[in-house]
Structure formats: C-alpha cells, structure tokens
C-alpha cells in the first residue's frame, strides 16, 4: 500500500497568528472558538479565504446487514445513491444552500450503478462480507480502498477545491463504525453501539449481540487490520480521503459518527492527519461523544443530528468559511484607530 506523506502543520507559526487575531478590530477573544478555528485554518492552508468546497458522499454496503443490525434493508443504499444523483437528498438541499458541490463515490455498493456525471465509480467489490462470521475485507481490498480515497482527495485539491467535506451512505455502517471505534478509540463495545437508523430496544439488543460475535472473532487493533476485519468500504475509502486531503494541505470537514470513525482510523494510521480535520458536529448517535473525547476534540455544532450524508459538515461549512476570512479580511484595531482603512 502506498499512501501520500502528511506533513504536520507548523506550530511555530501559531503565536504569530494568534497575535494577528488578537489585534483585530474587536475585543480580545470576542469571537470565541472562531478565533481558534481561524488560526487552525491558517496553519493548514495559509492566511487566505477558503471558499470552494466539495462534499464527497462515499457509498457502500455491509454484509453485516444479513444479521439484522439495521432497521432498513441493504437495497436502501442503492436507492439513496440514486436520490443523491437526482439532487433530492437532504445533503443535496444543504449543499445548494451553502454553495458546495456534491459528488457520490461508489466504494462498494452491492449493485451495478449506471454512469452519471456526479458518480465516481471506484467500487472495490459489491458490499463487504459478513463480519459476524468472517473478515469483511481482505488486506488487498482495504489497500485498494485507502489508495482510491487518497487519490480522489488529492485530485479534488488539484481541481481547485479548497475545502473537502466527507459524508457517507451505507445501510449497516453504524455497526461497522462501532466496531472500529471499539478497537481504535479504544472503548467498551456497549458504549460504541447506538440505534443507528432507528432501532427499538429489542433491535438495539440484537445489534449489540451481533457485534459482540463479530468482535470475538478477532483481536485486531492495528488500523488497516481493523478495517479488514470489520469493514466498510465507504469507511476505508473515507479514511484514505482524510490522509489524501491532509497531504494536499486542505482542511477536511468531518461529519458525524461514521465519518469520525474513518477519521479515527486515518489518525491512528497517520497521526499528523488530525491537524487537518475539523470535526463539524456532535452526533446524537451513541458513542460519538466518547469518540470525540478519545481524539480530544470539540465539534463545532451540536444540533442533534444523526443522518450522515455529510449534512452536519455542510451546515458547518459557512462557519469554516467565515473563520478563514478573519485574518485576511478584518482590519486591525490599530488601523481603525489611526484611520488607515
């Protein structure tokens, strides 16, 4: 497997950037966490406005759905991909509202999808194997997914996108993400498993029992091995995209529980990738708060979302764009007081 090199941000520049922000025409610290975000974005991409944004929605199916871990059948993945491509999903509406482009990546949908201008055909295989009884992916399949994700992100940067937002679609993927969190946070499995697409108490208990069986199959803890055991081609490809975007020095807007599991895997593989991740919202899915604590991050928004698709990342995009303009566009207090405007 060949993944691009990620250079950590140059923290030696942080004091100078904080001094610049402190000297703006505002009371000291008056913009709260936006000031922290502005400094981080400048460390990532330089002291310039960041505008052009792309949301990549990675799609894939999961063999675990055969065990009843989701309240919906796998066929919904394909149906939702068609909905994205028709421009009618929540993510499409939000993307239009905030001026972001949206593309769907077929990482592993269990169907042959017709070509479409906004569909990136990167299918590694038609869905993962059933992780409750065998490894979801081979090491070679994981490598292909990681490399494809990194390549897609770097191509987006080369195309001129300045911000990359990550979303996903895959029935059963909260189950896969819970297993990844269990091993990579790490955290007790029961604290990682939530209701996903809307399980009742009986469904949640069944989901936990299935995941306990899957977890008992393997003691893998190394990130690529964990991805192979518990799968999620869309998650593995998102993991590669985090690393690829970080290597290209563009900020990565991380959505909710599943996208955060991909970011967690990327950070465990390449710790410097965390410098480039902006965690956008606190998901209502059980386990997300514990995952954020494991990464020692505080998401930007808390709106009770648990949809996925990149919707939380899109809602955070205007905040990120605004923060990127604090250093470049706001006058200093000295200039205001001296009349040099």
Cβ neighbours, 10 Å, residue 333: 15
Q: Which of 180, 195, 146 is nearest to 291 (CA)?
A: 180
In degrees and rounded to multiples of 5, residue 170 shows phi and psi of: -175, 110
Residue 138 near residue 228, CB atoms below 8 Å: yes
How close are the terminal C-alpha atoms of the chain, in Å?
Answer: 53
What is d(CA 268, CA 81) in angstroms, rounded to the nearest whole number?
29
CA–CA distance, 285 with 108 (Å, rounded to integer):
23
Q: Where are the beta strands (DSSP E) in the chain?
A: 53-60, 101-108, 119-121, 163-169, 252-254, 277-279
What residues form DSSP beta bridges with 121?
Answer: 106
Give CA–CA dist 205/135, Å, rounded. Answer: 22
Q: Which of 83, 115, 118, 128 is nearest to 234 (CA)?
A: 128
Cα–Cα distances in angstroms (integers) from residue 147 to residues 4, 142, 317, 337, in the given order: 9, 9, 26, 53
Tokens linked to 314: 């899109």
Active site (annotated) includes residue 309: yes
Please give the full DSSP string across 112-146, using - where no structure is assigned.
PPPP-TTEEE--SSSS---TTTS-SS-HHHHHHHH
Catalytic annotation, pick one of 35, 141, 162, 309 = 309
CB 326 within 8 A of CB 40: no
> Which residues are catalytically annotated?
309
């Amino acid at each position: 497997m060949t993944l691009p090199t990620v250079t950590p941000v140059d923290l030696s520049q942080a004091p100078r950037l904080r001094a610049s922000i402190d000297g703006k025409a505002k009371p000291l610290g008056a913009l709260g966490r936006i000031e922290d975000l502005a400094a981080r974005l400048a460390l990532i991409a330089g002291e310039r406005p960041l505008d052009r944004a792309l949301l990549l929605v990675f799609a894939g199916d999961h063999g675990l759905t055969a065990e009843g871990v989701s309240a919906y059948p796998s066929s919904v993945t394909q149906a939702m991909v068609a909905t994205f491509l028709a421009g009618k999903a929540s993510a499409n509406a939000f993307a239009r509202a905030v001026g972001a482009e949206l593309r769907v990546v077929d990482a592993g949908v269990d169907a042959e999808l017709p070509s479409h201008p906004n569909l990136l055909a990167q299918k590694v295989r038609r869905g993962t194997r059933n992780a409750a009884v065998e490894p979801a992916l081979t090491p070679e399949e994981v490598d292909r997914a990681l490399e494809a994700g990194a390549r897609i992100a770097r191509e987006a940067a080369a195309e001129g996108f300045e911000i990359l937002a990550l979303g996903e679609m895959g029935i059963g993927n909260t189950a896969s993400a819970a297993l990844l969190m269990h091993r990579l946070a790490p955290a007790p499995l029961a604290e990682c498993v939530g209701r996903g697409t809307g399980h009742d108490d009986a469904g949640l208990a069944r989901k936990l029992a299935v995941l306990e069986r899957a977890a008992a199959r393997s003691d893998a803890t190394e990130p690529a091995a964990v991805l192979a055991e518990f799968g999620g081609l869309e998650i593995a490809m998102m993991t590669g995209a985090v690393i690829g975007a970080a290597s290209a020095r563009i900020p990565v807007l991380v959505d909710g529980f599943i996208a955060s599991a991909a970011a967690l895997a990327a950070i465990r593989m390449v710790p410097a990738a965390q410098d480039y991740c902006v965690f956008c919202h606190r998901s209502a899915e059980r386990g997300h708060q514990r995952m954020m604590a494991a990464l020692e991050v505080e998401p930007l928004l808390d709106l009770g979302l648990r949809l996925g698709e990149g919707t939380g990342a899109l809602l955070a995009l205007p905040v990120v764009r605004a923060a990127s303009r604090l250093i470049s566009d706001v006058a200093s207090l000295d200039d205001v007081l001296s009349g040099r405007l």
